[in-house]
Chain A
Amino acid sequence: MELEPIIGLEVHTQLLTKSKMFCLCDANYQIAEPNSKVCPVCMALPGSLPVINRQAIEFVIMTGLALNCSINEFTQFDRKNYAYPDLVKGYQISQYDFPVAYEGFLEIETDDQPHRIGITRAHLEEDVAKMQHNNDSTNGHTLIDLNRCGIPLMEIVSEPEISSPEQAREYLIKLQNIVRYLEVSTGDMEEGSFRCDANISLRPKGSKTLGTKVEIKNMNSFRSIHKALTFEIKRQTIAINNNEVIIQETRGWDEEKEITFSQRSKEFAHDYRYFPEPDLKPIKISKEHIENLKSSLPEMPQERRDRLIKNYNLSEYNAKLITSNKATADYFEACLTSHSSKSSQQIEIAKSIANWINTELAKLLNQTNTPIENIKISPKSLINLLNLIEKGTINSTQGKQVLEKMFDTGKSSEQIVEEENFSQISDLDSIRSIVKDIIVQHPDPVQDYANGKENAIGFLVGQVMKTSKGKADPKISKSLLIEEILSGTK
């Protein structure tokens, strides 16, 4: 029996508001001393009352609009009751039947196929405290840091319309990019600003009914989400093929063992006893307010991609890569701005910048796992490097080496070229003497070229470059080689 997975994702993303969700405490808590960003409200002292952060509401409206959602003109908060030591009030202020945004979609692409994934809802709630479990420094106790209590959290729930781990990953990457474009969240997974839980079930292909749903938690990267879903599909497939019953449960992802494990079965599932939060009045969101937010939405990835293609004639491929991350696109456009080119040259320059960003720079960023926001090479600096190559001071092979050094040290290209004696050999006499040596050392390829095998010249140019430690101008080397070979055969 062929089975197909049905996946739904729940994403919790912290919002970049100035203050917390229901009090005036600083929401920038990550680097603060434990328990220093707190007040009676977020510590849940007796008698304290929540006050809604309007900016958080606007952020969810904006995200909802970017996800093609309808916005509720009447929205309200509810209490979600459950007991856990990180939940100081014993209930979480969340939203139940009137979320800020509902019924939208997100379009993704896997294997060049477009898919439209439905968004069920986007709502607001508050984050909980951070717990640090027993280790040496805590003397076996669990420590609790309330700084994170009350940080606004936006929960975005997808329809169960995702049918592979690849689609799940694409969906998340796209969603992360959207919240970053909107500047409503850092979208950072490692810091825990962007968290994902998955619901997954399997059913016979073509069937309309849903199988038993399993929820997977604690996946901390796109990679682990992909792996966890792949594992879970395999596990459930084997179970179903062995006629075992899938239990409705919550499973955790073990990053080290790369398996999911049972955490809680349905019998122990919480009854959250939702009821309307009596400390907060329902909120009316006017059509006008929604329209205002809609018209002030920043440019979204798709729009930006289209603009880059239109304005700079970038290839579809380059434009897609550049805009797949807001910071990369910002970097790209900053490079363009710092280049003092005439508009007639702009298309050429843009292409060159895009190529460098998408290949060499991307390689360095990936290797070192550095976000482009933290790069030591300023846009201006990258442009200077490209100028050096353009002018012929160094060749592009050298350019790659210089870039690497710039990436590591943050020094300017000029400084590196000077310090490391990188300048290209372009005087004819020096190159010619190397060329002559190479011709003597490699008679066979020389003969091949003379016999009309044009490819052979590449090998010889390579040898010249090698001997000159990459400093010889490859164009000059090539023309001198041809000149010498042809003159020798005369």
Chain B
Amino acid sequence: MNILTDLTIHEAHKLLKERKISSVELTDAFLENIDHLESKIHAFISVTPEIARSAAIKADKKYQENSASTLTGIPMQIKDVISSKGIKTTCGSNMLKDYIPTYDATVLSRLLDEGAILLGKGNMDEFAMGSSTENSFFYPTANPWNLNRVPGGSSGGGAAAVASGESIFALGSDTGGSVRQPAALCGITGLKPTYGLVSRFGLIAFASSLDQIGPMTRDVEDCAIILNAIYGKDINDSTSLNVTPADYTQSLDENIKGLRIGLPKEYFAEGIQTEVRESVLKAAELFKQAGAIVEECSLPLTKYSLAVYYVLAPSEASANLARYDGVRYGVTPTNPKNAWESIESTRGMGFGKEVKRRIMLGTYALSSGYYDAYYVKALKVRSLIREEFTNVFKKYDALLTPTSPTVAFPIGLKTHDPVAMYMNDACTLAASIAGIPALSIPCGFHDGLPIGMQIITTYLQESTALKLGYTYQKMTDWHIQRPQL
């Protein structure tokens, strides 16, 4: 194991700046680790060593010219749902296994502009639909803490890469928990920002009103560094927000004394593994010691999140995935009789089971005669859930919950039970539905597997969540634990 691959972004940047290491050395260390570990972990769908090395050479030049920024020369993995110009972007699907985008997603070009180094593209559940990365067309990703366990999903590749030392950080996407839940299961830090804070341009759509790109990092400080690089208005994404410029690293070590933290009792009820519940409650105690006010509160509508989510997300997905007709990209049959046969077999071959299931769910929910009962009703409940959060945030600055009901489960355990799989996101869905930020950080272990807790704050209050997370990580060492590989 190479010590370089254990660094955080802020540590690596310091060493690069002081010329103690070069970006080429750092990049090579990660590429070696990838070579060494990928056969076990499968965190990547594609690795781009040549691109990485030539970018590293450029990055070193920037350090020599003193024109480097915090991310210059820092290796990263990007989830394969994020478009990369000239580099295969598969979305974990047979449909796009040979698709090469002609443009970079806004987030990627922002990171590349900063001089970050692309190591490759992260494994994921097909079209980001799943909670275990087992729905990847290519291969499942293994949890670095226990290779027989899932890393969570859908951004399982990113979480596993960061945990195993195959990348310093990763970008994931989170529609109902896809950054937070794998972060929790792999013992890393993951943030789903406020909907609209980060541009979605170039992010292959699953559910447009819920999708949000977020950082997956080794600690909260790194998370703030990445958020600094990717947030902000993008003219190519009409739903991106025009926010006042902020430096998310600035307020990290502000005192949390007097901050009011709510523990919504619904998130500690039945279905939550005892050890998970206890770890989160212990963390709450630490916050109290640091001066925060911690109280139990209630979010009774949370229990409807799952139902709302599984109407809205598949509905949007059913339209978003209609473009895969095999004409401009995607797999095509060899000798179709006509256009319809061609489209049908493209979709038949190209999409996996879970994707087809969700397209059918969504098509059904939007169909005439069912639209009001499903889609319209789900929208109404969505606004009630938002309202409930607005009200609870009048009293609290943040909410503390488990991220996932359990620690990582064995590969194959839930693949035949979609509803059991959907339950993995029970704690993360509500924040997605409300469009508010939520941070997951490691807070313990059970059976050698990481436990994660979630800090939810109100609209655009990422800095409060990051501040709490940073304070917690100063008091604990869960986040510096590394798996033995």
Contact = CB atoms under 8 A, between A and B. Distances in A.
A279 interface: yes
Nearest to B203: A47
B239 A90 contact: no
Interface stretch (B66-74, B216-224, B275-283, B323-331): B323-331
Nearest to B105: A47
B260 to A, nearest CB: 32
Interface stretch (B29-37, B94-102, B456-464): B94-102
Contact of B239 (A83, A142, A281): A281
Contact of B101 (A47, A91, A271, A280): A47
Interface residues of B, number: 44
Contact of B339 (A40, A51, A85, A280): A85
A50 B237 CA distance: 7
A45 B101 contact: yes
A279 B196 CA distance: 11
B236 A51 contact: yes
Contacts of B327: 85, 88, 144
A471 interface: no
A45 B83 CA distance: 10
Contacts of B205: 46-47, 279
A468 to B, nearest CB: 69
Contacts of A47: 82-83, 89, 101, 105, 200-205
B323 A46 contact: yes
Nearest to B344: A83
B327 to A, nearest CB: 7
A29 to B, nearest CB: 17
A353 interface: no
A49 interface: yes
Interface in B160-205: 200-205
B236 A46 contact: no
A142 B89 CA distance: 28
Nearest to A44: B323
A273 B370 CA distance: 10
A89 interface: yes
Contacts of B236: 49, 51
A40 B315 contact: no
Interface residues of A, number: 28
Nearest to A40: B103
A159 B235 CA distance: 39
Nearest to B234: A49
Contacts of A46: 83, 89, 91, 96, 99, 101, 204-205, 323, 329
B47 interface: no
Given A47-B205, A49-B200, A90-B321, 8 more contacts: A40-B103, A47-B200, A48-B202, A49-B238, A85-B327, A89-B322, A275-B315, A279-B239
Interface of B: 82-83, 89, 91, 96, 99, 101-103, 105, 200-205, 207-209, 235-239, 315-316, 318-319, 321-325, 327-329, 339, 343, 363, 366-368, 371, 375
14 contacts: A45-B83, A45-B102, A46-B89, A46-B99, A47-B101, A47-B200, A85-B325, A85-B327, A88-B325, A90-B322, A90-B323, A271-B367, A273-B363, A273-B368
